C-alpha cells in the first residue's frame, strides 16, 4: 500500500470548509484533525504543527490558519510572531504590527 501525503494547505482548507460550509463544531474538527495525524499510511505535512494548532483551535479564539502560522513560527524559533490581524495578535506569542 502506498503512502498518501496531505500538505498543510489542504488541511487549512479542510478546516475552513468544514467550519464555514458545513457548520462543523471546532471540537469535532479538532478531533478529526487529531485522528488524521494518527492515521497509518497517511502523512500530514507538518503533523506536529497540525496537532498543536488543533489543540489550540478546540479552545476557541483565532482561526485555524492563524494557529498554523503560529505553530510554524514556534517551530522555527521566530518569536514573537508579528501580524497585522488584531484577532491573531491576541494569541500568546504574537504581536500586532502597527
Q: Write 20-25 long-range contacts (CB < 8 A, 24+).
A: none
Closest CA to 66 of 87, 37, 35: 87
For the chain, the domain total comes to 1
Which of 87, 64, 71, 85 has the alpha carbon at shortest distance from 14? 64
d(CA 74, CA 41): 27
Peptide bond into 38 cis (omega under 30): no
Range of the domain at 71: 4-96
CA distance 71 to 77: 10
Residues of the chain with pLDDT under 70: 1
Predicted confidence at residue 7, as pLDDT, reads 95
Amino acid at each position: 500500500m502506498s503512502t498518501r501525503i496531505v500538505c498543510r494547505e489542504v488541511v487549512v482548507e479542510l478546516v475552513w470548509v468544514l467550519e464555514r460550509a458545513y457548520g462543523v463544531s471546532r471540537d469535532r474538527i479538532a478531533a478529526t484533525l487529531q485522528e488524521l495525524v494518527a492515521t497509518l499510511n497517511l502523512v500530514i505535512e507538518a503533523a506536529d504543527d497540525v496537532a498543536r494548532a488543533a489543540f489550540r483551535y478546540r479552545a476557541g479564539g483565532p482561526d485555524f490558519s492563524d494557529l498554523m502560522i503560529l505553530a510554524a513560527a514556534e517551530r522555527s524559533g521566530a518569536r514573537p510572531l508579528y501580524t497585522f490581524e488584531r484577532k491573531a495578535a491576541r494569541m500568546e506569542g504574537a504581536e500586532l504590527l502597527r
